[in-house]
Amino acid sequence: MQEQDLGNTQFFKVQPDPETGAKKVLSVVYDALTEKGYDPVNQIVGYIMSGDPTYITSYKGARSLIMKVERDELVEEMLGEYIRANGWTK
- Would you say 26 and 78 are in contact if contact means Cβ atoms under 8 Å apart? yes
**What SS3 string covers 60-77?**
HHHHHHHCCCCHHHHHHH
State the pLDDT at residue 4: 65
Q: Which domain holds residue 60?
A: 22-85
The 10 Å Cβ neighbour count of residue 71 is 15
Number of domains in the chain: 1
The answer to whether residue 26 sits within a structural domain is yes
Q: Is pLDDT at 16 greater than 90 in this prediction? A: no
When pLDDT is cut at 50, 70 and 90, the band that residue 8 belongs to is: confident
Among candidates 65, 29, 66, which has minimal Cα distance to 50?
A: 66
The answer to whether residue 10 sits within a structural domain is no
Q: Is pLDDT at 1 greater than 60 in this prediction? A: no
The answer to whether residue 3 sits within a structural domain is no
